[in-house]
Amino acid sequence: MARVFITGSSDGLGLMAARRLAAEGHDLVLHARNEQRARDTWMAMPDAEAILIGDLSTLAGMRHVAQQANARGPYHAVIYNAAVGYREPRRLVTADGLAHVFAVNTLAPYVLTAMIRMPRRVIYLSSGLHRNGEPSLEDLQWQERRWSGFQAYSDSKLHDTALAFAVARLRPDVFSNAVDPGWVATKMGGPGAPEDLSKGAETQAWLATSDDPAARVSGRYWFHKQARETHPAVRDPAYQDRLLETCARLSGVRLATFPTADAVGSARAQERSTHH
């Protein structure tokens, strides 16, 4: 049995993953943006261990969620699922002066990764649209460019995928992966999405808890349990480092990247003992 924390799990793919993991007997800590969504989540998942509340569009909200998560931890796995979509018709700006899509989709998973005690497994929700992402880290807040919700979303998913690969590179004691759930008929994906909704949460749940040796790997980008190629920038350590430095500067939070060889061996041994 594993304990798993899932961000953005009041509906959509996050809730689907929670239901799948609960059916397998795992313990779930969930997350909702506000009190009303938390109440709805309790109705949908009454057996959840806890539902954390916090708005991931603000730095204060990110920190608050991380503090709550640590108080409830540790976890075997964290699924960074929370995101907003590509239909924002204009550039929305958060209380911190950040573009809304960037704050929720890029900076929030970075801050939570940096602040939450690192589990054995981390999974970042990406998208096939990450291949349309612009690897330049200039004008991330869309102050100079003409606004495009589609491009902002694609950029953010490129960031998430690169973050997963950066954690895999810098924290060899952790299994860190990115998942494309497919274009499925969630609130974000829309009713006309063509792909199999039942498979939308399968891979992230599998990576979070499976004993399958294929799931106990790091630095992969997955689609329906199959490793796929990524945008070339994702695998570029220099790009990863620039992204991490940018997020650290904007958030005031720095990702720790210092496991020792002994720590790596101990982590792998504990991972094996957890499952056998």
Catalytic residues: 153, 157
List 53's β-bridge partners, or say none: 32
Q: How far apart are CA 210 and CA 208, in angstroms?
A: 6
- Helices then strands, each counted (H, E), the chain: 9, 8
- Size (the chain), residues: 276
- Distance between CA 86 and CA 155 in Å, rounded? 10
Query: Which element (helix H / strand E) includes 173?
Result: none
Sign of the dihedral through C-alpha 175, 178, 182, 183: positive
Helix (H/G/I), strand (E/B), else coil: 21? helix
